[in-house]
Structures are given as C-alpha cells and as structure tokens.
Structure 1
Amino acid sequence: MAIHRMDNVGIVVDDLAAAVAFFTELGMELEGEAEAEGTVPDQMLGLDGVRSSIAMMRTPDGHGKLELTQFHTPAAVTTGPLDPPPNTRGLHRVMFAVDDIDATLTRLRRHGAELLGSVARYEDSYLLCDLRGPSGIIVALAERIE
C-alpha cells in the first residue's frame, strides 16, 4: 500500500493571527479556519479538554499546506529553549521557493522575521537563507539563480 500524498505540516503557534499574517505575506493563501474541540481532537491527540483554533494555509499551486494551530486548552507545551538552534533534533524548518529572496525578506521583516545567518549563494544555482518567523518557526527561502 502506498501513501496518496503529503497532506500538510502541522505547526503549533502562540499567536494564530500573527502566523496567518506572516504566511500570507510570504504568499500562502488562507484556505480556511476552524475551531476544534470535543471527542475527536481529544482522541486523536491523546489529550483531554482540547480546544484549539486552526488555520489551514496553502501554497499558490495548491500542493503544499501548513496547518497552524493555537491551543487554548490544554496550553501548548514548551520543552527546551523557545527558539532552538537549527541543528535541534526533530521537525523545525519549512522551506519555500521564492522569486526574489531580498524582496521576500523585506516583506517578512515587517512581520518580525529575523535572519539566522545571512543570504548564502550555493554555486550558481540558489540563493538560500534561514529566518525565524512567528512562534520561533524557522523558515528557509530558496531563490533559483537563472
């Protein structure tokens, strides 16, 4: 049996509105918002009393999605440093291909984005960078050099 597709990547955030604004500025589209509570999220997550707000964001081509979730109850858990370094084990980065890395950085800085290092050139192929966005999310950008 094979999988059909990767449906989405879930990211827990502390400010859903700020995260939606950030990813909208990046170029993603808000597909929908919902409140989740009751038996289904409790069973699925193995938690009691789940109440959360969810925003589903999609890339313009419709193939990539991020599910942004803000937990109201139980409160989101933080383990380790709030802004872990890029070499921390586990899922911690989402990468997007962009047309203009400098223009994208300018727009995202208005939403609090901070470069982790600097924009790097990979051979004659890409400009690359990592930045920290809302809730400490590391977002990587790649601009193809043509």
Structure 2
Amino acid sequence: MENNKLLRMDNVGIVVESLDHAIAFFEEIGLKLEGRATIEGEWAGRVTGLGSQHVEIAMMATPDGHSRIELSRFINPPIVADHRTAPVNALGYLRVMFAVENIDEMVSRLIKIGAELVGEVVTYQDSYRLCYIRGTEGILVGLAEQIRK
C-alpha cells in the first residue's frame, strides 16, 4: 500500500498587474474572495526560488469551496515575462475551466465587462457547450455547460 497519496489540488496561481481588476473578473464568474495578504521575506523566496520577494495575493474560491485561484501581484522582483497573449496552442499552463449553468448568460455578462470570446460557443457531442473567454489582463478561462447528464 502506498503511503504517499494526493489529497487534493489546493489552487492554481495566476500573476496579474491589478488585483482589483482580476478579483472583479473572477467575482463576475462566481468565485468568492476569501482574503488578501502580502507575502514577503526570504522564506517566501526560498519556496519560489526568487530570493527576497514582496507579493500581494488574493485567494478566490469556487462556490463549492473545493477549488481556488491564487491571484498574485509581484511588487518585487519585477515581472520578467508576459504570456497573457499566447495562443491556446502555446506551451505551459494556459487556462482554467469552469463549469457553469448558463453559458450564454455568463458569456454575455463577461463581454459587458470587457472580456472577449476567443472563438465561439460550440456544442460537443450533445453533452457540453464550451468556449474560451479572454478576460481582464488577457487571462484565458474556459466555460463548460453540461447539456445532457
């Protein structure tokens, strides 16, 4: 019997320029702000490999409480790369997918606050309606509505 077992996925991290704008975007999707904090010091840099750092974070939780997104705004060290406009076939982490009840209503609300539909809303095998949305700061999210159970 294996002693090491995965317990859960804790969160996905997204680095942003504006915590306020990113929080508002994810609140519009339906996540709740659990809290904000400042993380700094050499202990944090030992975890990330960045040395001394100063980062402002916000933790956002899904309504079921099982998944979280940690939004981070780096004050120090400065940002060194920007992948926000990478196409969906770029290497690396790309997007977070959310299950929603009414994809058309969600897309409409997100477009009203400046998000853009990447392609179109499509139906997959009469089971799901799916789309990608580029929101605040170019953050890419997927939306999925189950249409047949």
TM bucket, shorter chain: over 0.9
Name the residue aligned to 2:36. Answer: 33
Q: Deviations over 1:119-143 (max 9, x none)?
A: 0111211110001122322100001
Give ranges in structure 2 of 5+ residues lacking alignment.
none
Q: Would you identify which runs of 4 or more consecutive aligned residues in structure 1 move more than 3 Å?
A: none
The percent of aligned pairs where both chains have the same amino acid is 50
- How has the CA–CA distance of structure 1 residues 40 and 111 changed in structure 2, closer, same or farther, with 3 Å as cutoff? farther
Name the residue aligned to 1:124. Answer: 126
Give the structure-1-normalised TM-score: 0.94
Q: Deviations over 1:57-96 (max 9, x none)?
A: 00000001000001011112215x6400000011111000
Output the CA distance in 1 between the equivalents of 2:126 and 2:69: 30
Output the CA distance in 2 between the equivalents of 1:61 and 1:34: 22
Name the residue aligned to 1:45. Answer: 48
Give ranges in structure 1 of 5+ residues lacking alignment.
none
- How has the CA–CA distance of structure 1 residues 46 and 141 changed in structure 2, closer, same or farther, with 3 Å as cutoff? same
Compute the displacement of 1:100 (Å).
0.5
With 101-110 and 63-72 compared, the bigger mean Cα shift is at 101-110
Output the CA distance in 2 between the equivalents of 1:26 and 1:45: 29
Conserved? CA contact 1:28–1:57, under 8 Å = yes
Output the CA distance in 2 between the equivalents of 1:69 and 1:5: 21
Conserved? CA contact 1:22–1:134, under 8 Å = yes
Q: Which amino acid aligns with 1:9?
A: V
Output the CA distance in 2 between the equivalents of 1:90 and 1:84: 10
- How has the CA–CA distance of structure 1 residues 82 and 67 changed in structure 2, closer, same or farther, with 3 Å as cutoff? closer
Conserved? CA contact 1:13–1:134, under 8 Å = no
Q: Which amino acid aligns with 1:5?
A: R
Output the CA distance in 2 between the equivalents of 1:15 and 1:107: 20
Output the CA distance in 2 between the equivalents of 1:143 and 1:82: 25
Give the structure-2-normalised TM-score: 0.92
Q: Verify: 1:140 aligned to 2:142, yes or no.
A: yes
